[in-house]
């Protein structure tokens, strides 16, 4: 018998390559994972046999991910570069997937036409489109595709017992495991076990006359008959799974994942968090949802019974946190480690053969006849049109999802950053990116410089990272308290990580960088702002690494390609034989078990109809709920929510649409009023929660109390506003607020200020900066320093003065010791200091000793966000002594001193006052430092406050500061003998530079306050200028 | 007899064994007598030898050690010291690696001809006054980068203002150094050095001003009224250090303003040419300020007193729309002109003695209007207090 080429498969391949092959160029680079794989590939391209990578997380091992896909990209990159490699591998994965689905479908349906239909449908199936074009999970696709290729071979081995099939199936399992380790493990359970069940059924079927005659006894005897083959296959494939990735398993045993689980959308309750429901349930299932009754009906027939069980489990597990079943089934640990979206993906892939079968029966099979007979030809065409339309809609919707709701920031041109890192030996320090999304992996792949961050969270090693459920520091603002809390620890003590440069693509982080003592360098051509930190030593030339045995490195380097080559030799000769059709080939055994496609069950048709109606009703209900929630004028609450939402996303036109049209506020006036407001709240805050309480409501008027919680990079801001709403033509509108009419005194005014410029290296040379060009470190003096215990935490407080003639950037590092001189803790000054000091300027400071927050995994992590979260370090022993190291470096940025204190009103609880901006820059975030003194004018404590509104030039801004009360302050040590400035004893510098210091000179101008603990207070002003002129 | 014979044989054997060994010991001896060389010149150590044995020579100097092979010239062993060693000054130890070791040392001194001068000057800036100094380190070297011999004379020249000073210093331990002290004036000291007629490049040393001394302050304003809408500018006299030098630009001066209520307000300025200028907005009510400026721990100013006259002595309040619209004004200034926009007017609403709400508004064109909507304030009697420019008016039992 001459075998014909399946034209449907050819069509599927052609369309698949044309469709996906062109679109990957627009989608793959913006997916979540593709660039990470590219980064790994770059590693192999450079060091094929060295698994240690220093570029991320102060070093990690690439043995933490199966290497086949990465090594393939790396090998191809020698031909045409990394991206060429990635796209080529993506194309291969598309071909493998389509052919894999075909072979799997042929195995299941035993019908070439149905399998051909399945192959075509697979091209457009929304789960595949999502996995490839949105998630970019190349290893996972290749893994499942090769697994599907292996299924017919496994069937034939168990059925026929010919060793040829054993080898082919094992060779394919080996390829699967080297490309994705999870796929064969779960594939064993969810694909191979049911398949074995099916083989036993088929063998049993051959023994009896009809399917009905298969009793348990028959089944058992068949099972025992095949037992040797099943076990031999099972043991051998287990050996392969372990053997091929042996270094991986050794590594995971040596470095078990002890980190806090990272939240994943696939574990959400899909009904509550609808966006997760969409991405992890609706999209992967797509049109298959309508066919669920058919799929279950078919898979629960006797032959496929085990597939029926398997798909049921997969479907249920894929629902994530919607029902408690997955959590119970998997157990707490596995539930929190696994991403559950893969179960839905596998379920949808498992459904594809039956989808093909259904379409085949619908297009030219018994279903067509049945529907035409029952409902007429028009109805058949209509239903067909609707189904096809829905199917294509889901495909297009999935493809365009990242276009309408980009998961990644705009594509960033990396060249300026790479040039920056290559210049002036900038790559001798570690860097971090902020707001790059997964593009950070592409940057890492292109530069030799190392990052403190990384994009493969399973490999993280620093306890500062592993104890937080955050994927990357890079996008920490989306991770709430843990995110920014983690980030600020890195920003405060960057010396620890030799971390000097930050590339910021997100203005949101600017304030925290500034107040942690970082300074802006310049904006690169691509709009990326570079920040740097002074006084950070470069990375040492020899870095620690976890080395592994040579045999592991060699095995890891050659095993993946060996598996591919063996699989190729074993399988391709069969393919070639097939393709050339040189000899008539025996029909594979599974084709002997034909299905009966002549009598479509009327019951199933009925149930499918009812099911479709239920689905349609829920969809319409969902849309209705969505509409009611989003019709902004429907109720006062809706109007307020939409209004705040629009302001939060800076959609001012939308916000303006909600302003009472009767207020006669012109659009441009409204825009102008918004544009002049600046500050922490209006420029750097993200709305976290909003609560509306309708205080009073009449038919046409409403007063709403709006409690808002804003996340800013520095602190959480709670705000209560009272909004007035009016009803106009049956729609609710927000009454606009009046803006301040304060007129500044001067139209044009001048200010003489001293500006500085540092040449850097004066010679144009690639050598190290010439010693003549290195500036002297400015002399600083520690005027006072003491160790105090405030309530339950320890802190170093004091005052520092720049006694030099040049402006200085100040870095303070405090270390605490116990009586036996054992070091207990070390930390840097964060917010409580003016990091930049003009000549002779003084700043109070405080060093809080912060522990790694939630360092014990069992510590409960607060659910609410608080960027200002402070975890006091837990001291095992009592700190009694301290060492204070201050380093000064010449700085010429952020030296604005124009803010003044223009009014004060002091009461027992509250200090109210006004700040006046007398200079020529707009102050974006003013910060007040409050130093408390006792009745003898001895310093006791330092506190701070950020003012959430900015101050425009020659305007005033009010502030209210609640005075600290009921504090328990103990002075522990005020011995300053261990204070050092630029490595020299503070005392000797002080003696030499300011020998005749007038001590406590400004004590006469301390502000008296009425307070049980404190008698005097000093107020200092620090300012952040968002956009310096 | 037997014993004697044995003895003879043994002693004969001993003699036979002993003779050749003594011979080799006498074979090798050094012929070169010179123990001092000049760097860069060829150095050959010559040894006499009688046999063909290829003995190696072990050499060691401060840079490292090496072993060299001889060039055999009939009865002599010639060891040519490699340039790597012969170009460097210092002691070279040698040892012949023969059976009976022979060792010695020789000294290479630099050629007294300066090829380059390395100079280091640090710190690059010092304070005026004569106590602060910077150290100049000079290392003249020969063509092979060897420091010249100790006791070599070096002239250090430095120029400051009109003075140009030459000093002779002497090399010791391969370097020469000189501390250059600042003088009382600020400026720039240019430093160079000379050794054996070769001059170094120029180094720069900045002399910065010392600690500032007390100064005086003054103020300047457009008028003496407390309209909250003018700027008062405080400036210092030219601030100088102990030696009369103007303090460096950017010196931070803090101005503390003590007001009538003894609250401490604050403004600051940084100096340009010794004068710091600080600005402050006029208060919006009658006020007396006493101002003093500090450069903390170092210097302070005199105290100056300023007073601001009130611009408003009284204002009108009008109630309309069931007392729900309250218009404050006209607010008139010192020439009866309308006050500039932005004067703060506070309306406090009391229910009995309990404060319900404080509304704050800025004046516009001389008026401020408050609207009390009946959502927030249901119809009832309230006590209203209106305050502007620290003048308060109370309206008890106002029915809304």
DSSP string, A487-536: HHHHHH-GGGGTEEEEEES-GGGHHHHHHTT-EEEEE-TTSPEEEE-SS-
When mean pLDDT is compared across A99-103, A594-598, A791-795, B347-351, the lowest value belongs to A594-598
What confidence category does residue B280 fall into, taking pLDDT thresholds of 50, 70 and 90? very high
Q: In chain A, what residues touch B373 (CB-CB under 8 Å)? A: 701, 703, 724
Q: Name, in order, each residue with C-beta under 8 angstroms of A116's C-beta and a sequence gap of 6 or more.
A: A6, A7, A8, A9, A11, A12, A102, A356
CB contact under 8 A, B267 and A702: no
**Which ranges constitute the DSSP H helices of B59-149?**
83-86
Q: Cα distance from B47 to chain A (closest Cα, Å)?
A: 47
pLDDT tens digits, one per residue of B191-204: 999 998 899 889 99
Whether residue A856 has pLDDT greater than 50: no
CB contact under 8 A, A741 and B362: yes
CB contact under 8 A, A805 and B230: no
DSSP 3-state assignment of A57?
coil
pLDDT tens digits, one per residue of A541-581: 888 888 889 999 999 999 999 999 999 888 877 666 666 55
Q: Cα distance from B209 to chain A (closest Cα, Å)?
A: 8
For residues A885-897, average pLDDT: 92
DSSP 3-state assignment of A207?
helix
Whether residue B24 has pLDDT greater than 80: no
CB contact under 8 A, A806 and B248: yes
Residue B259, Cβ neighbours under 10 Å: how many?
16
CB contact under 8 A, B341 and A741: yes
CB contact under 8 A, A902 and B281: yes
Whether residue A843 has pLDDT greater than 90: yes
In this prediction, residue B21 carries a pLDDT of 42
CB contact under 8 A, A897 and B268: yes
Give me the architecture of the B25-109 domain, per CATH.
Sandwich (2.60)
In this prediction, residue B167 carries a pLDDT of 93
Q: In chain A, what residues touch B231 (CB-CB under 8 Å)? A: 745-746, 749, 918, 954
For residues A867-872, average pLDDT: 56
Question: What is the distance between the alpha carbons of residues A53 and A256, in angstroms, rounded to a whole number?
Answer: 18
In this prediction, residue A866 carries a pLDDT of 46
DSSP 3-state assignment of A180?
coil
Q: In chain B, what residues touch A1016 (CB-CB under 8 Å)? A: none
Q: Which sign does the torsion angle of CA B196, B198, B204, B207 carry? A: positive
Decide: A122 and A116 in contact? Cβ < 8 Å: no
Q: Nearest-CA neighbor of B357 among B341, B375, B343, B339?
A: B375
What confidence category does residue A864 fall into, taking pLDDT thresholds of 50, 70 and 90? very low
Q: Cα distance from B172 to chain A (closest Cα, Å)?
A: 23
Q: What is the DSSP letter of A659?
A: B
In this prediction, residue B10 carries a pLDDT of 62
Whether residue A855 has pLDDT greater than 60: no
Q: What is the DSSP letter of A1002?
A: G
φ, ψ (nearest 5 deg) of residue A429? -115, 165
Q: Cα distance from B344 to chain A (closest Cα, Å)?
A: 9
In this prediction, residue A37 carries a pLDDT of 94
Q: In chain B, what residues touch A746 (CB-CB under 8 Å)? A: 231
Give me the architecture of the B217-308 domain, per CATH.
Sandwich (2.60)
Question: What is the distance between the alpha carbons of residues B133 and A166, in angstroms, rounded to a whole number?
Answer: 87
Mean pLDDT (chain B) is 87
CB contact under 8 A, A992 and B268: no
Q: In chain A, what residues touch B123 (CB-CB under 8 Å)? A: 776
Q: Cα distance from B294 to chain A (closest Cα, Å)?
A: 7
Q: Nearest-CA neighbor of B235 among B274, B266, B278?
A: B278
* Chain A CA closest to residue B119: A772
* Chain B CA closest to residue A839: B251
Fold type of domain B116-208? Immunoglobulin-like (2.60.40)
Q: Cα distance from B113 to chain A (closest Cα, Å)?
A: 26
Shortest CB distance from B362 goes to which of A740, A997, A1006? A740
Q: Nearest-CA neighbor of A436 among A412, A453, A401?
A: A412
For residues B223-227, average pLDDT: 90
For residues B213-227, average pLDDT: 93
Q: Nearest-CA neighbor of B87 among B108, B101, B66, B61?
A: B108
pLDDT tens digits, one per residue of A133-166: 999 999 999 999 999 999 999 999 999 888 989 9
Chain A / chain B CB contacts < 8 angstroms = 164
Q: What is the DSSP letter of B284?
A: S
Whether residue A536 has pLDDT greater than 60: yes
Chain CA centroid to CA B357, Å? 54
Q: In chain A, what residues touch B250 (CB-CB under 8 Å)? A: 754, 756, 805-807, 838-839, 895
CATH code matching the domain that covers A631-734, chosen among 3.20.20.210, 3.30.56.10, 3.10.450.50, 3.20.20.70: 3.10.450.50
User: Any idea where the domains of chain A sit in the sequence?
Assistant: 7-30+65-407+566-599, 631-734, 775-1024
pLDDT tens digits, one per residue of B301-336: 999 999 999 888 888 889 888 888 889 978 888 888
Whether residue A860 has pLDDT greater than 50: no
Q: Best residue in A839, A960, A1008 to probe B by mutation, most B CBs within 10 Å?
A: A839
CB contact under 8 A, A752 and B277: yes
pLDDT tens digits, one per residue of A431-456: 999 989 889 999 999 999 999 888 88
In this prediction, residue B15 carries a pLDDT of 52
Fold type of domain B317-399? Immunoglobulin-like (2.60.40)
Question: What is the distance between the alpha carbons of residues A599 and A796, in angstroms, rounded to a whole number?
Answer: 85
Decide: B167 and B127 in contact? Cβ < 8 Å: no
Decide: B273 and B189 in contact? Cβ < 8 Å: no
Whether residue A256 has pLDDT greater than 80: no
Q: Which sign does the torsion angle of CA A633, A636, A639, A642 carry? A: negative
For residues A25-30, average pLDDT: 90
CB contact under 8 A, B127 and A743: no
**Which ranges constitute the DSSP H helices of A245-340?**
246-254, 274-277, 283-285, 288-299, 305-317, 325-330, 332-337
Q: In chain A, what residues touch B294 (CB-CB under 8 Å)? A: 1001-1002, 1005
Question: What is the distance between the alpha carbons of residues B207 and B248, in angstroms, rounded to a whole number?
Answer: 11
Q: In chain B, what residues touch A842 (CB-CB under 8 Å)? A: 296-297
Decide: A383 and A409 in contact? Cβ < 8 Å: no
CB contact under 8 A, B131 and A992: yes
Residue ranges of chain B that CATH labels 2.60.40.10: 116-208, 217-308
Question: What is the distance between the alpha carbons of residues A177 and A1002, in angstroms, rounded to a whole number?
Answer: 73
Per-residue CA distances from A213 to A199, A206, A207, A951 (Å)? 16, 11, 9, 87
In this prediction, residue A663 carries a pLDDT of 78
Q: Name, in order, each residue with C-beta under 8 angstroms of B378's C-beta and a sequence gap of 6 or more.
A: B400
pLDDT tens digits, one per residue of B368-385: 888 887 777 888 888 889
For residues A787-794, average pLDDT: 88
Decide: A315 and A256 in contact? Cβ < 8 Å: no
Pairing of strands B203-208, B125-127: parallel
Mean pLDDT (chain A) is 87
Burial class (CB in 10 A: 0-12, 13-18, 19+), A316: middle
Whether residue A872 has pLDDT greater than 70: no
* Chain B CA closest to residue A803: B211
In this prediction, residue A916 carries a pLDDT of 94
CB contact under 8 A, A806 and B250: yes
Shortest CB distance from A842 goes to which of B125, B283, B296? B296
Q: Best residue in B139, B191, B252 to probe A by mutation, most A CBs within 10 Å?
A: B252
Q: In chain B, what residues touch A753 (CB-CB under 8 Å)? A: 270, 272
Question: What is the distance between the alpha carbons of residues A58 and B237, in angstroms, rounded to a whole number?
Answer: 55
pLDDT tens digits, one per residue of B283-292: 988 999 999 9
Residue ranges of chain B that CATH labels 2.60.40.1930: 25-109
CB contact under 8 A, B281 and A992: no
For residues A276-286, average pLDDT: 88
* Chain A CA closest to residue B343: A742
Chain CA centroid to CA B372, Å? 61
In this prediction, residue B22 carries a pLDDT of 40
For residues B219-245, average pLDDT: 93
Q: Name, in order, each residue with C-beta under 8 angstroms of B53's C-beta and a sequence gap of 6 or more.
A: B98
In this prediction, residue A45 carries a pLDDT of 94
């Amino acid at each position: 018998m001459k075998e014909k080429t399946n034209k449907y498969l050819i069509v599927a391949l052609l369309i698949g390559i044309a469709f996906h092959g062109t679109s990957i160029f627009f989608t793959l680079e913006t997916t979540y994972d593709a660039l990470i794989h590219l980064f790994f590939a770059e590693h192999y391209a450079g060091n094929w046999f060295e698994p240690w990578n220093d570029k991320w997380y102060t070093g990690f091992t690439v043995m933490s991910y199966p290497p086949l896909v990465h090594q393939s990209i790396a090998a191809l990159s020698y031909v045409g570069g990394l991206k060429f490699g990635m796209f080529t591998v993506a194309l291969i994965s598309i071909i493998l997937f389509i052919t894999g689905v075909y072979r799997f479908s042929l195995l299941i349906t035993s019908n070439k036409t149905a399998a051909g239909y399945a192959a075509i449908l697979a091209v457009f199936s929304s789960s595949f489109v999502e996995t490839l074009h949105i998630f970019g999970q190349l290893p996972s696709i290749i893994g499942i595709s090769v697994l599907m290729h292996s299924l017919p071979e496994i069937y034939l081995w168990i059925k026929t017992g010919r060793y040829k099939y054993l080898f082919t199936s094992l060779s394919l399992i080996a390829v699967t495991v080297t490309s994705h380790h999870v796929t064969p493990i779960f594939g064993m359970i969810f694909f191979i076990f049911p398949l074995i069940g099916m083989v036993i059924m088929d063998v049993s079927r051959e023994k009896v006359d009809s399917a009905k005659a298969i009793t348990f006894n028959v089944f058992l005897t068949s099972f025992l008959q095949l037992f040797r083959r099943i076990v031999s296959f099972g043991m051998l494939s287990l050996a392969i799974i372990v053997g091929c990735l042996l270094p991986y398993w050794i590594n995971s045993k040596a470095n078990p994942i002890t980190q806090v689980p990272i939240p994943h959308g696939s574990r959400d309750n899909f009904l509550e968090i609808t966006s997760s429901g969409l991405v992890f349930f609706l999209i992967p299932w797509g049109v298959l949802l309508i066919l669920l009754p058919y799929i279950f009906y078919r898979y629960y027939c006797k032959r496929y019974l085990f597939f029926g069980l398997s798909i049921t489990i997969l479907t249920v597990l894929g629902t994530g946190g919607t029902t408690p079943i997955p959590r119970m089934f998997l157990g707490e640990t596995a539930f929190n480690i696994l991403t559950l979206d893969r179960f839905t993906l596998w379920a949808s892939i498992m459904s594809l053969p039956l989808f093909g079968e259904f379409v085949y029966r619908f297009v030219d099979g018994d279903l067509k006849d049945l529907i035409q007979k029952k409902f007429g030809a028009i109805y058949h065409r209509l239903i067909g049109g609707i189904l096809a339309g829905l199917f294509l809609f889901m495909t297009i919707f999935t493809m365009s999802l990242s276009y309408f709701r980009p998961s990644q920031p705009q594509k960033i041109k990396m060249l300026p950053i790479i040039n920056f890192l290559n210049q002036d030996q900038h790559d001798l320090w570690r860097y971090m990116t902020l707001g790059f999304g997964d593009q950070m992996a592409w940057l890492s792949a292109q530069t030799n410089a190392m990052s403190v961050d990384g994009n493969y969270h399973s490999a993280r090693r620093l306890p500062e990272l592993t104890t937080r459920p955050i994927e990357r520091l890079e996008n920490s603002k989306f991770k709430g308290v843990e995110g920014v809390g983690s980030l600020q620890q890195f920003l405060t003590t960057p010396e620890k990580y030799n971390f000097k440069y930050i590339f910021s693509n997100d203005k949101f982080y600017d304030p925290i960088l500034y107040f942690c003592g970082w300074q802006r360098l310049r904006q690169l051509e691509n709009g990326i702002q570079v920040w740097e930190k002074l006084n950070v030593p470069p990375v040492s030339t020899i870095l620690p690494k976890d080395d592994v045995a040579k045999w592991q490195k060699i095995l890891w380097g050659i095993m993946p390609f060996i598996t591919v080559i063996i699989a190729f030799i074993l399988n391709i000769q069969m393919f070639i034989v097939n393709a050339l059709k040189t000899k008539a080939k025996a029909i594979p055994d599974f084709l002997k078990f034909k299905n009966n496609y002549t009598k479509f069950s009327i019951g199933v048709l009925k149930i499918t109809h009812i099911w479709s109606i239920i689905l349609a009703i829920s969809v319409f209900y969902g849309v209705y709920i969505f509409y009611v929630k989003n019709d902004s004028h429907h109720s006062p609450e809706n109007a307020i929510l939409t209004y705040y939402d629009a302001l939060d996303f800076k959609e001012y036109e939308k916000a303006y649409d909600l302003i009472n049209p009767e207020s006669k506020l012109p659009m441009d006036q409204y825009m102008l009023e918004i544009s002049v407001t600046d500050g922490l709240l209006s420029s750097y805050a993200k709305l976290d929660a909003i609560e509306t309480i309708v205080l009073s409501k009449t038919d046409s008027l409403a007063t709403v109390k709006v409690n808002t919680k804003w996340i800013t990079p520095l602190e959480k801001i709670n705000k209560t506003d009272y909004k007035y709403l009016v009803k106009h033509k049956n729609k609710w509108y927000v009454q606009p607020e009046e803006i301040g009419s304060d007129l500044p005194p001067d139209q044009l005014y001048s200010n003489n200020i001293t500006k500085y410029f540092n040449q850097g290296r004066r010679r144009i040379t690639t050598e190290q900066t010439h010693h003549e060009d290195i500036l002297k470190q400015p002399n600083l003096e520690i005027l006072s320093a003491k160790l105090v215990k405030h309530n339950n935490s320890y802190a170093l407080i004091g005052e520092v003065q720049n006694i030099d003639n040049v402006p200085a950037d100040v870095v303070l590092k405090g270390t605490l010791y116990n009586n036996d001189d054992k070091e207990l803790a070390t930390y840097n000054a964060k917010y409580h200091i003016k990091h930049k000091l003009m000549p002779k300027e003084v700043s109070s400071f405080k060093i809080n000793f912060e522990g790694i927050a939630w360092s014990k995994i069992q510590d409960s992590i607060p659910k609410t966000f608080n960027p200002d979260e402070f975890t006091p370090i837990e001291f095992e022993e009592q700190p009694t002594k301290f060492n204070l190291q201050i380093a000064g470096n010449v700085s010429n940025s952020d030296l604005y001193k124009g803010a003044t204190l223009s009014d004060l009103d002091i009461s027992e609880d509250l200090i109210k006052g006004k700040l006046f901006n007398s200079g020529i820059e707009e102050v974006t975030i003013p910060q007040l430092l409050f130093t408390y003194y006792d009745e003898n004018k001895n310093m006791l404590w330092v506190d701070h406050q950020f003012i959430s509104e900015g101050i425009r030039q020659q305007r005033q801004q009010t502030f209210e500061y609640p005075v600290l009360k009921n504090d328990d302050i103990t002075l522990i040590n005020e011995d300053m003998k261990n204070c050092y400035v630029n490595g020299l004893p503070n005392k000797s510098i002080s003696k030499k530079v300011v020998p005749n210091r007038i001590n406590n000179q400004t004590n006469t101008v301390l502000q008296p306050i009425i307070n049980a603990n404190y008698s005097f207070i000093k107020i200092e002003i620090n300012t952040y200028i968002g956009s310096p002129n | 007899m037997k014993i004697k014979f044995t003895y003879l044989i043994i002693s004969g054997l001993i003699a036979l064994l002993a003779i050749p060994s003594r011979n080799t010991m006498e074979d090798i001896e050094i012929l070169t007598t010179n123990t001092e060389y000049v760097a860069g010149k060829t150095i050959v150590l010559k040894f006499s030898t009688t046999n063909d044995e290829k003995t190696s020579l072990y050499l060691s100097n401060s840079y490292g050690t090496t072993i060299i092979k001889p060039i055999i010239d009939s009865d002599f062993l010639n060891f040519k010291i490699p340039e790597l060693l012969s170009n460097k000054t210092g002691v070279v130890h040698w040892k012949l690696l023969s059976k009976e070791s022979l060792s010695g040392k020789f000294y290479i001194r630099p050629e007294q001809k300066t090829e380059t001068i390395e100079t280091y000057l640090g710190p690059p800036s010092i304070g005026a006054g004569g106590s602060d100094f910077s150290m100049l380190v000079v290392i003249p070297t020969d063509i092979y980068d060897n420091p010249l011999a100790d006791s070599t004379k070096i002239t250090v020249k430095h120029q400051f203002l009109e003075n140009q000073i030459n000093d002779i210093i002497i090399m010791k331990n391969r370097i020469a150094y000189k501390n250059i002290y600042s003088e009382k004036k600020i400026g720039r000291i240019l430093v160079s050095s000379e050794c054996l007629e070769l001059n170094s490049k120029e180094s720069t040393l900045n002399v910065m001003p010392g600690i500032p001394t007390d100064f005086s302050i003054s103020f300047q304003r457009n008028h003496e009224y407390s309209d909250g809408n003018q700027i008062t500018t405080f400036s210092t006299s030219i601030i100088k250090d102990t030696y009369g030098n103007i303090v460096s630009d950017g010196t931070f001066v803090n101005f503390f303003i003590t007001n009538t209520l003894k609250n401490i307000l604050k403004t600051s300025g940084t100096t340009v040419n010794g004068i710091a200028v600080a600005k402050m907005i006029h208060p919006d009510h009658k006020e007396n300020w006493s101002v003093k400026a500090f450069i903390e721990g170092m210097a302070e100013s005199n105290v100056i007193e300023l007073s601001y006259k009130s611009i408003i002595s009284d204002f009108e309040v009008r109630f309309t729309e069931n007392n729900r619209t309250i218009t404050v004004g006209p607010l008139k200034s010192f020439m009866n002109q309308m006050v500039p926009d932005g004067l703060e007017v506070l309306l406090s609403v009391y229910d009995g003695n309990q404060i319900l709400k404080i509304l704050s508004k800025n004046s516009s064109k001389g008026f401020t209007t408050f609207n009390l909507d009946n959502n927030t304030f249901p119809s009832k009697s309230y006590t209203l207090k209106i305050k502007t420019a620290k003048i308060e008016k109370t309206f008890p039992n106002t029915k809304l």
